[in-house]
Homo-oligomer: A and B are copies of this chain.
C-alpha cells in the first residue's frame, strides 16, 4: 500500500497534461495512475471514520463507500452518454473482483499456507446473495436478447430496467439488515478488534472529502480521454471498459485483499472480493440506473459477452469457495479463467 502512494505524483502530471492539451493517451494513463492511490486513501479514510462511528454504522459506511471510485468513474461516463463503457465497467468490476482479486489472494495465500480455511457460513450467505444478484442482472437481459427485435424499442423496456433496479436495491438493504442486525453473529467478531484509529475524526473526514474531489477530477480526465485511447491503441471501447477501467478502480482493494490472504486472513480477502462484487451489482448498478434518469435513461441490458463472463465467474468462484478451503491451484484456476476471458475479449 505504501508504494502505491508514490503514484500520487501522477495527480499534478495529469493536470499538466490536461492544461497543456498534451497527448490524450498520456492523459488517460496518468489519470489512471493517479486514481489508484486515491482509491486506496478513500478506503482508508472510510475505515477511520468507521472506528469513530461504531461497528454498525461503520460497517454500513464501508459497505456503501467501498466502491465509490467505480461509482464516480461510471458517473462521468454516464454523463457523457458512454453507456457501453458504463455497463462494461460494471461487468468488468464483477469479474475482476471475483476472478482476479479472489484468485490472486488464494494463489498468493496458498503459496505461503498449504490450505487456507474461511468461515463457511458467512461465505454461504455471500455466495447465495451473489447468485441472486447475478440472476437479477442476467435474466432480464437474456429475455430481452431472446424476444423479437421489434419489441426492443417499446417503453416497457425502460420500465423493466427501473423495476429490476428497485428489486436489487431492496434486497441489498435487506442483506445489510441481515448482516448487521438479525444474523451478525455468523460473521464472528474478528473485524472490530483489529481496527485502531490513526487519524482524528476531523482529519479523516477532510481526507475523505479531498480524495473524493481528486478522484472526481481524475475520473473526468480519464473518461474524456477514453475515445482517443481506443483509437490510438486499437482497443475496443468494450475492452477498455471491461478490463482496463475496473483494474484501475479496484487496484487498491486488490492489493489489500492479497495482503490479507498473505497474512492468512482469508475471511477478509473473501469479503473484499465477493462483497465488492455484491455491492457493485446490488448497489452501484441500480444507483447508476436511477442517476441516468437525470441525463438520458440507461437500460440494464448487458451484452452477451458481459453476461457469459459474469455467469462463468460466479459459477467457478462458487465452486472454489464452496468447501470453506482454498489452495494455490484454486487461485490459479480463477486467474486463468480471467485470462481466458481477457484474451477472448481481444478478438471481439
Contact = CB atoms under 8 A, between A and B. Distances in A.
Nearest to A318: B319
Interface in A148-190: 151, 154, 156-157, 159-160, 163-164, 167, 170-171, 174-175, 178, 182-183
**How would you classify the secondary structure of chain A's contact residues: helix, strand, loop or mixed?**
helix
A125 interface: yes
Contacts of A308: 139, 142-143, 146
Given A160-B343, A316-B131, A347-B157, A167 B336 contact: yes
Interface stretch (A18-26, A50-58, A325-333): A325-333
A234 to B, nearest CB: 12
A316 B127 CA distance: 11
Interface string A270-314: 000000000000000000000000000000000011001100100
A305 B339 contact: no
Question: How big is the A interface, by class?
Answer: 35 or more
A160 B304 CA distance: 19
A132 interface: yes
A337 B125 contact: no
A332 B139 contact: no
B135 A316 contact: yes
Contact of A132 (B170, B183, B316): B316
A1 interface: no
Nearest to A156: B347
A63 to B, nearest CB: 15
Copies of this protein, total: 3
Nearest to A138: B312
A168 to B, nearest CB: 9
B346 A156 contact: yes
A135 to B, nearest CB: 5
Contacts of A6: none
A182 B132 CA distance: 36
A77 to B, nearest CB: 24
Contacts of A344: 139-140, 143, 160
Given A125-B329, A327-B183, A341-B139, A319 B131 contact: yes
Interface of A: 114, 124-125, 127-129, 131-132, 135-136, 139-140, 142-143, 146-147, 151, 154, 156-157, 159-160, 163-164, 167, 170-171, 174-175, 178, 182-183, 304-305, 308-309, 312, 315-316, 318-320, 323, 325, 327-330, 332-333, 336-337, 339-341, 343-344, 346-348
4 nearest A-B residue pairs (beta carbon): A156-B347, A132-B333, A178-B329, A146-B304
